[in-house]
Amino acid sequence: MSAVAFIFIFIIIIPTKQAITLFQSPDEGWQVYTSAQAPDGKCLCTAVIPVQGTCSRDLRSHQLRQLMEKVQNISQSMEVLDLRTYRDLQYVRNTESLMKGLDSRLKVAAESQRSLNAKSFQELKEKMTELLPLLPVLDQYKADTRLIVHLKEEVRNLSGSLLAIQEEMGAYDYEELQQRVLMLEARLHACMQKLGCGKLTGVSNPITIRASGSRFGSWMTDTMTPSADSRVWYMDGYYKGRRVLEFRTLNDFVTGQNFVQHLLPHPWAGTGHVVFNGSLYYNKYQSNIAVKYHFRSRSVLVQRSLAGAGYNNTFPYSWGGFSDIDFMVDESGLWAVYTTNQNAGNIVVSRVDPQTLEVLRSWDTGYPKRSAGESFMICGTLYVTNSHLAGAKIYFAYYTNTSSYEYTDIPFHNQYSHISMLDYNPRERVLYTWNNGHQVIYNVTLFHVIKTSGEL
Ligand SMILES: *[C@@H]1O[C@H](CO)[C@@H](O)[C@H](O)[C@H]1NC(C)=O
Ligand SMILES: *[C@@H]1O[C@H](CO)[C@@H](O)[C@H](O)[C@H]1NC(C)=O
Ligand SMILES: *[C@@H]1O[C@H](CO)[C@@H](O)[C@H](O)[C@H]1NC(C)=O
Ligand SMILES: *[C@@H]1O[C@H](CO)[C@@H](O)[C@H](O)[C@H]1NC(C)=O
Ligand SMILES: *[C@@H]1O[C@H](CO)[C@@H](O)[C@H](O)[C@H]1NC(C)=O
Ligand SMILES: *[C@@H]1O[C@H](CO)[C@@H](O)[C@H](O)[C@H]1NC(C)=O
């Protein structure tokens, strides 16, 4: 079957505002919420939330409280997922109507074939063929609706059990309930991972966040911390820099205020730095040493050489600038992109242990690093651009899951014509770039087919 694939999205929401309080026990201090309605395509979720200020009196209500928190967490995760993937759903819908339109045009054309000129008929037919793989996808999309409805029922049942427990506090099977919550949590987690990941199929128009700094540099938010932490890190220049600015929020970054400065003990090379879980990972100037600098303690936690990795402008990206070693983070963790003499200058991508900086596994992509503008990782796939200049596109994809590659043709607008940094942030599902003294972001569209055979 075809490689075209799509994400669909369903939602389990916690409706905090329009919730109706169904039940409240003044003794135990629990409230049971349920959503007021099931808007089309959305799933209901009920959640039981402890009333603020009450404290648990015995172990059982403590356990119950944890259970509730879990249900609540699940619901919140699903909500985040919904926000992230909403636009993909729109895309599927748009494409569906596009396809229907094309189909009817094709039918009309086929009926009056004699009056139609052969060339435009052929064009129409080719367009249609391109869209054909969508059909099974849309069927799956419908089948998946049923699965989500099932999940919804399970969440509802769970809440029902919780209600019952409250009514006869003291006579419930905590163990059984906990098993059910654990199972539900595992399934929702698996569901989210499947929904969240996919193949890159599109990049949005750029949004310029700020114009500042020199031609080359790097800026980012943490790829892992909770979304409440929106600190922005800013590292101007590619050569011997040591000054990292930390802005409190994205707004502070836009206006250039409220920042603190970190002075790195070792200077950096290139622009391939990444912030992951509160630490900066970067390449130490004139070496192939990876450094992990922890912001809160303002100290280097570990440094280690990447065996055989070229440095000091031996194997940079096409724009030069000591960009020999590029760190990045995707949904599955930390990666380093570089090359070695043994790999004859072709891009090597390595999984790196974020605690020890040890290389866990490496893949030789076969793509010459000097012909790459930049690269970034999404869901275990390395995407490589063919230039840093105007006209650049995402040209090559290396799948670490199957150790295989594919040439791609994904355009994006290189507005300021000189990209010296391009990184994916899996938490925000956004590409961050430094383009000729401008800090720019793009949204990405990831598509994925969910297998409907078997359980979620
Ligand atoms: C719910 O999520 C919060 C924040 O991520 C976490 O601290 C807490 O331990 C989670 N609770 C449960 C029961 O998983
Ligand atoms: C929910 O509860 C109803 C009634 O007890 C039961 O028939 C149904 O199978 C349950 N659904 C799930 C998904 O567990
Ligand atoms: C490998 O990853 C790509 C992109 O994330 C995905 O489209 C593909 O289905 C995966 N292949 C396997 C065999 O899991
Ligand atoms: C993130 O950092 C905390 C401590 O700061 C650590 O306990 C946790 O394991 C780290 N997570 C990852 C995925 O490295
Ligand atoms: C790095 O390259 C410069 C020339 O560009 C050279 O002078 C210097 O010795 C090199 N340093 C190392 C550590 O290889
Ligand atoms: C990305 O998508 C979000 C949500 O749809 C939207 O608010 C934001 O403006 C988009 N950003 C870009 C860079 O297109």
CA of 199 to the centre of ligand 3 (A): 7
CA of 358 to the centre of ligand 1 (A): 30
CA of 357 to the centre of ligand 4 (A): 14
Question: Which residue has the least CA distance to atom 12 on ligand 5?
Answer: 286
Structure tokens at 11: 């939602």
CA geometry: angle 428, 432, 437, nearest 5 deg: 150
Question: Which residue has the least CA distance to atom 12 on ligand 2?
Answer: 154
CA of 312 to the centre of ligand 5 (A): 6
pLDDT value of position 104: 72
What global pTM score does this model have?
A: 0.65
Beta strand extents in 242-322 (DSSP E only): 243-247, 259-263, 274-276, 279-283, 289-294, 299-305
Residue 104 sits at φ, ψ, to 5 deg, of -70, -35
Pairing of strands 419-425, 232-236: unpaired
pLDDT value of position 27: 33
Q: Which of 83, 204, 428, 446 to mutate to test the pocket of ligand 6 (most atoms within 8 A of CB)?
A: 204
CA of 225 to the centre of ligand 4 (A): 10
Q: Is 399 in the pocket of ligand 3 (CB under 6 A)?
A: yes
Structure tokens at 87: 């636009």
Q: 51 vs 72, 130, 172, 431, CA distance in Å?
A: 14, 55, 21, 40
Residue 330, burial from CB neighbour count under 10 angstroms (0-12, 13-18, 19+): buried
pLDDT value of position 48: 35
What is d(CA 329, CA 425) in angstroms, rounded to the nearest whole number? Answer: 7
Q: Is 240 in the pocket of ligand 5 (CB under 6 A)?
A: no
Identify the CA nearest to 8 among candidates 143, 172, 185, 203.
143
CA of 50 to the centre of ligand 3 (A): 41
Atom of ligand 5 nearest to the CA of 287: 13
pLDDT value of position 199: 87
pLDDT value of position 131: 62
pLDDT value of position 198: 80
Structure tokens at 129: 């063929």
pLDDT value of position 94: 63
CA 354 to chain CA centroid, Å, is: 18
Q: Is 308 in the pocket of ligand 4 (CB under 6 A)?
A: no
Helix axes 59-111, 174-196, angle to 10 degrees: 30
Note the ligand closest to the C-alpha atom of 2: 3
State which residues of the chain have pLDDT below 70: 1-103, 105-106, 109-121, 123-125, 127-196, 226-227, 448-456
